[in-house]
């Protein structure tokens, strides 16, 4: 198991919409990816995180650097795998492990 990984994400916050609505938005983005859309393009278009400007790229991080729910989901992914919706205190994320 790796001590550090590289990942990108798309964040739909829940401060102005319900968790259910944010999850539906993430599920719609997953459908676009399944249809062939590029994760980075969708991050630039849909993510509310500043990392969206760089395709959602969060760079490398180790254990203990992200909130537990995000970390657990990200470290469970294989390289190039995309998660399902991941709920944290920040909102609902879609995570892609890139290395």
Say which CATH number the domain at 17 has.
3.10.50.40
- What average pLDDT does the segment 9-35 reach? 97
Tell me what percent of the residues of the chain surpass a pLDDT of 70.
99
Does 53 have pLDDT greater than 90?
Answer: yes
From CA 66, how far away is CA 68, in angstroms rounded? 6
Instruction: Judge whether 94 and 23 are in contact, CB under 8 Å.
Output: no
pTM, whole model, 2 decimals? Answer: 0.96
Instruction: Judge whether 59 and 6 are in contact, CB under 8 Å.
Output: yes
- What average pLDDT does the segment 65-88 reach? 98
pLDDT at residue 85, as a whole number: 98
Q: Specify the number of domains making up the chain.
A: 1
- What average pLDDT does the segment 3-11 reach? 97
* DSSP-derived secondary structure letter, 78: P
Domain that holds residue 16: 4-97
pLDDT at residue 1, as a whole number: 56
């Amino acid at each position: 198991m790796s001590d550090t990984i590289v990942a990108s994400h798309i964040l739909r916050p829940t401060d102005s919409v319900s968790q259910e609505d944010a999850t539906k938005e993430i599920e719609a983005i997953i459908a676009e990816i399944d249809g062939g859309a590029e994760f980075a393009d969708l991050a630039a278009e849909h993510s509310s995180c500043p990392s969206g400007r760089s395709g959602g790229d969060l760079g490398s991080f180790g254990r203990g650097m992200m909130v537990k729910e995000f970390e657990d989901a990200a470290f469970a992914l294989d390289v190039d795998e995309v998660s399902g919706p991941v709920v944290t205190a920040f909102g609902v994320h879609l995570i892609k492990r890139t290395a």
